[in-house]
Copies of this chain bind each other. A is one copy, B any other.
Amino acid sequence: MSDTHPAIKKGRKFDQVVEGARTVFLRDGFEGASVDDIAREAGVSKATLYSYFPDKRVLFLEIAAQETKRQADAFEERMDENLSPEALLPNVGRKILDFILSDFGQAVFRIAVSESDRFPELGRKYYESGPALVAKRLSQYLASCTARGELEIDDIELAAEQFGELCKARLQSRRLFQACCDIDDSEKQKVIDGAVHMFLCCYGVRK
């Protein structure tokens, strides 16, 4: 942001520009967003906007970088490795699902999918700071569980990705393709419970 690269920030309305761009790009995508829209939303003149960013592309990439970072931060917190899978997985699952179904999660996903052709870097960054990061954190936790003998997993990374996948079952596509109005809480819980059950069924140690 402005604080990290003060050299880039020359004026007082930098943050307004970024904030406006964020709103409009997340709402309309790259092509869909017009620079005039962004300037209006930011409460700033076009000339000001162009004094900060050389073109629309660069502005977009700046926003995309910020948002993937924001996404990464949402998952960066380490999991408590001492908790049992029975206790921890439902919470993690719920967090993943809530994020995916949130307006922000949907918007970022949509942008990443539709623009990763035009901006390959963006696709990779989204992947690294989203799905890959979650899988990595989860893998670390699962490894400690297997070390403690609470789980039995041969391919830990695959297991982590399977769990992530199971949490999205049904609901991600339903929301993405507007196949439903809204998703109530009990339905989310059913999916999470199913994911945890299936996971422990497969990788839990026999009692």
Residues of A participating in the B interface, judged by any CB pair closer than 8 Å: 29, 31-32, 109-110, 112-114, 116-117, 120, 123-124, 126-128, 131-132, 155, 158, 161-162, 164-166, 168-170, 173-174, 176-179, 190-191, 194-195, 197-199, 201-202
Contact = CB atoms under 8 A, between A and B. Distances in A.
Nearest to A31: B31
A114 to B, nearest CB: 3
B114 A158 contact: no
A65 to B, nearest CB: 15
A169 B179 contact: no
A116 B194 contact: no
B194 A162 contact: yes
A31 B31 CA distance: 7
A158 B191 contact: yes
B162 A198 contact: yes
A179 B132 contact: yes
Given A202-B197, A202-B202, A173 B114 contact: no
A123 B165 contact: no
A123 B174 CA distance: 9
A166 B124 CA distance: 22
A178 B121 CA distance: 9
